[in-house]
Amino acid sequence: MSPIRCVRPAAIGLACALLAACHGGHAVREAPAPIADSTPASTQPAPNDTFNAVAWMQTSAEYAALTTQAYRNVCEMLPTAIADPSWTALIDGEQGGGFESLPPAIISDIDETLLDNSAYAARRIASGGPFDPVAWKAWINEADAKPMPGVQILLDCLAEHGVTLVYISNRKHDGERAATVENLRKDGFPLPADNDDLVLLRGDPRGINDDLNDKSARRRWAANRYRVVALLGDNLGDFMDGVATSISKRAALADAHADWWGARWFAFPNPSYGSWEKALAFDCGENRTPEQCRHSQLRSK
């Protein structure tokens, strides 16, 4: 194990300060302010077990390389996809009929696909607490999430080819949409004044959010207006529904479309959180705690 796991939360500010030096490309982020931590050492909370994941996302050259690589791969695919009117990145009839003459668009998730929320995660590590919906909503309404490293490559490419960007996120429509639009605009993402059909969030009042997290109905909504040539996301649910299931079933869902990864579907690394976490304790049974289930999933050979 890396010795970095032994670093106390107060050291996160130093890790954050390394950020500007580590992230190259078009979306260099400023070093965030150190996190205030006046808690006496004797009462420090136990280390949050997302430390390594968040530190890697904030400081490693490797993470920035992977996200930059993914955006560039999208751009390299676009000319082929645009030239082929039969090209769609949607499955299970989501694209609908007669799509060949529709203008091209890509559908992207927002969090950890376009916007970097690792500062929120670092705050939770510093406080010693798990995900907190109140703190998350407050973070969203700060509208200050930074763009993901390398994302300008994607934005330049979409502008060059005249491809629309549709944002489908499980941020909430009520109380989070205005700040989300403000944050995206602040970071340079394209969003016209009339963006009702371009930012589709959880709980959309038009009745196109078929489940709390499932995105299929919103993809279909976009597909009535655009030929969707690529999907971008950090979560299996950004590409298909039905992902809240076991580890083996999730793997089968991903494998069923193996030819599309890196061709029509572009996945972004997120070791910090995601629907994969719940799969660790899926079908846990009555005699084990969720924590026991989680640890039982690790292979030792």
Size of residue set near Mg ion by CB under 5 A: 4
Considering the complex, state which of residue 87 and residue 222 has its C-beta at the smaller distance from Mg ion: 222
Give the one residue of 15, 51, 70, 112 binding Mg ion; rule: CB under 5 A: 112
**What single string gives the DSSP state of each residue in 34-53?**
PPP----GGGPPPPPTTHHH
Residue with Cβ nearer Mg ion (17 or 244): 244
Binding segment (CB under 5 A) for Mg ion, from list 70-78, 229-237, 279-287, 288-296: 229-237
Least distance between Mg ion and beta carbon 274 (Å): 7
The answer to whether residues 121 and 274 touch, using CB atoms and an 8 Å cutoff, is no
**Nearer Cβ to Mg ion (67/227):** 67
Both tokens assigned to 124: 């939770």
111 binds Mg ion (CB under 5 A): yes
CA neighbor of 266 nearest in space, from 116, 140, 114, 132: 114
Nearest approach in angstroms of CB 165 to Mg ion is: 15
Q: Which is nearer to Mg ion, 55 or 236 (CB)?
A: 236
Round to whole Å and give the CA distance between 47 and 39.
13
Tell me the C-alpha distance between 184 and 140, whole Å: 11
Pair type for strands 146-147 and 104-108: unpaired
CB of 1 to Mg ion, least distance (A): 27
Structure tokens at 21: 């030096």
Q: Which is nearer to Mg ion, 114 or 163 (CB)?
A: 114
Sequence-ordered list of residues with C-beta below 8 angstroms from that of 147, at least 6 positions apart, any chain: 27, 29, 114, 115, 116, 187, 188, 189
Residue 109 sits in the site that holds Mg ion (CB under 5 A) = yes
Which C-beta is closer to Mg ion: that of 227 or that of 250?
Answer: 250
- Contact pattern from residue 57 through residue 96 relative to Mg ion, giving x for each residue in contact according to CB under 5 A and a dash for the rest: ----------------------------------------
Q: How far apart are the first and last CA of the chain?
A: 17
**Range in contact with Mg ion (rule: CB under 5 A) among 79-87, 194-202, 232-240, 253-261:** 232-240
How, if at all, do strands 146-147 and 115-116 pair?
antiparallel
DSSP state of 250: H
Shorter beta-carbon distance to Mg ion: residue 204 or 234: 234
234 is a contact residue toward Mg ion (CB under 5 A): yes
The residue number whose beta carbon is nearest to Mg ion equals 111
Question: Which residues of this chain interact with Mg ion, rule CB under 5 A?
Answer: 109, 111-112, 234
